[in-house]
Amino acid sequence: MGLGAYVLVVRGLLTLDLGVGRSMRPLGPLSCRIAAPREVVFELISAPYLGRTTRALQAKLRVLERGADMVLAEHYTRVGRLVTTTLETVRFEPPTTVHFRLVRGPVPLVVERFELREDGVGTRLTYTGELVTDLWGAGRWWGARVAVRWEAAVQSSLDSLQAEAERRAGSL
């Protein structure tokens, strides 16, 4: 693969979806306990998708289409000097589950889920997913590199979500 094609794949502008030599690897689980009610946590996750995206999040998220319980959104993640753009559907099942499905990105398929369970006076948020690549060993190698960055981006989002939910819950 030439440098130009590599940059397009990393940026999420070219998806190689060949359907041969397909491999799946798990993402997560990542989990955190949030000292806030489940409804507050769910609202924080869904608000930038189903309502207005805040100015602070516009550098990371752009909603292209909105429905009652599902959106089509671009997510932006810095990877070194490049910014990866993924196109994903995000589906909401209040107040327990948020589903993500990759439409276009650096790998052929990613499916993910945030599950929110009441945990005493707070919420247990668990992230799980699957990342799929093609081309046997080369795809598994690429998938391992993508997964590290993908999970780091999710962990960063969970950390921010936890801090904001706990700040809001403290002011209730």
Model pLDDT for residues 67-102, shown as the tens digit of each residue = 999 999 999 999 889 999 999 999 999 999 999 999
Strand pairing class (23-34; 122-133): antiparallel
Q: Decide if pLDDT at 167 tops 80.
A: yes
What per-residue confidence (pLDDT) applies to 3?
A: 81
C-beta separation of 148 from 28 below 8 A: no
**34-44 mean pLDDT:** 97
Could you tell me the CATH superfamily of domain 3-170?
A: START domain (3.30.530.20)
Strand partners, 39: none
| Average of per-residue pLDDT values in the chain | 95
C-beta separation of 106 from 148 below 8 A: no
C-beta separation of 163 from 36 below 8 A: no
What per-residue confidence (pLDDT) applies to 148?
A: 97
**105-130 mean pLDDT:** 97
**Percent of the chain having pLDDT more than 90?**
82
Q: Decide if pLDDT at 13 tops 90.
A: no
Q: Decide if pLDDT at 40 tops 90.
A: yes
pLDDT-derived band of residue 146, with 50, 70 and 90 as boundaries? very high
Q: Decide if pLDDT at 171 tops 80.
A: no
34/66 Cα distance (integer angstroms): 28
127/114 Cα distance (integer angstroms): 5
What per-residue confidence (pLDDT) applies to 1?
A: 61
111/144 Cα distance (integer angstroms): 16
**117-135 mean pLDDT:** 97
Location of structure tokens 């752009």: 62
What per-residue confidence (pLDDT) applies to 56?
A: 85
> What kind and span of H or E run contains 167?
helix 136-170
Location of structure tokens 């990866």: 84
Q: Where are the beta strands (DSSP E) in the chain?
A: 23-34, 61-66, 70-79, 82-93, 97-104, 109-119, 122-133
